[in-house]
Structure 1
């Protein structure tokens, strides 16, 4: 089975302090979908991934198959696996179509 891997040409940074702020806001019941926690620099343009997108990005290191990425997210966010499968697959497919992820 193929494993998604970040394109090594993309420079990225995990914004840990920002993630801590987002997690606190989430605990307070605030909507955090629009807040970026991972920054990507692609062809000189900066892109932000939100909390869940950033976690998916981090998990796509070429060592896990799609099912393993879904399992890790389900564990981390205490969400039913079935709720994540399609969304994770769609997100990874979108990143692949942009050339940001590749399969190994």
Structure 2
């Protein structure tokens, strides 16, 4: 089983306070898709991942396969697994193409 793992050369930080703000805004019904909660530094360039992207990134620690990532997200966000599966696979594939994820 292939397990996605973050590229160890990428510096990253989870912005806890920012995530709390995003969750409160989401509860108020505001659009939060563009608000970053995880910061990545890749080759001197800063990138932000939104709430869901940040959770996917955090879950890609090499301990679970893609199905495990999908299952964990479905539980965290109370969403049907089938609704998430394609988007998670696409997102992980994009991170892999960028060289930000590798497999163990």
Question: TM > 0.5 between the two?
Answer: yes
Q: CA deviation at 1:17?
A: 0.1
Report the counterpart of residue 84 of structure 1 in structure 2. Answer: 84
Q: Indicate the SS of the match to 2:13.
A: strand
TM-score normalised according to structure 2 size? 1.00
The Cα of 1:13 is off from its aligned counterpart by: 0.1
User: What is the RMSD computed on CA atoms of the aligned residues?
Assistant: 0.3
User: Unmatched 5+ residue regions in structure 1?
Assistant: none
Q: CA–CA distance in 1 between the matches of 2:97 and 2:82?
A: 24
Runs of 4 or more consecutive aligned structure 1 residues displaced over 2 Å after TM superposition: none
Cα offset for 1:94? 0.1
Write the mapping of 1:65-76 to structure 2, written as runs, cut at 5 A: 65-76=65-76
1:27 aligns with 2:27: yes
Looking at structure 1, the residues matched to 12 and 64 of structure 2 have their Cα atoms a distance apart, in angstroms, of 19
**1:73 shift after superposition:** 0.3
Secondary structure, aligned partner of 1:39 = strand
Q: Cα distance, 1:47 vs. partner?
A: 0.1
What is the Cα deviation at residue 102 of structure 1?
Answer: 0.4
Q: Distance in 2 between matches of 1:36 and 1:103?
A: 25
1-side partners of 2:26 and 2:72: how far apart?
19
- Residue correspondence of structure 1 range 1-104 to structure 2 within 5 A: 1-104=1-104
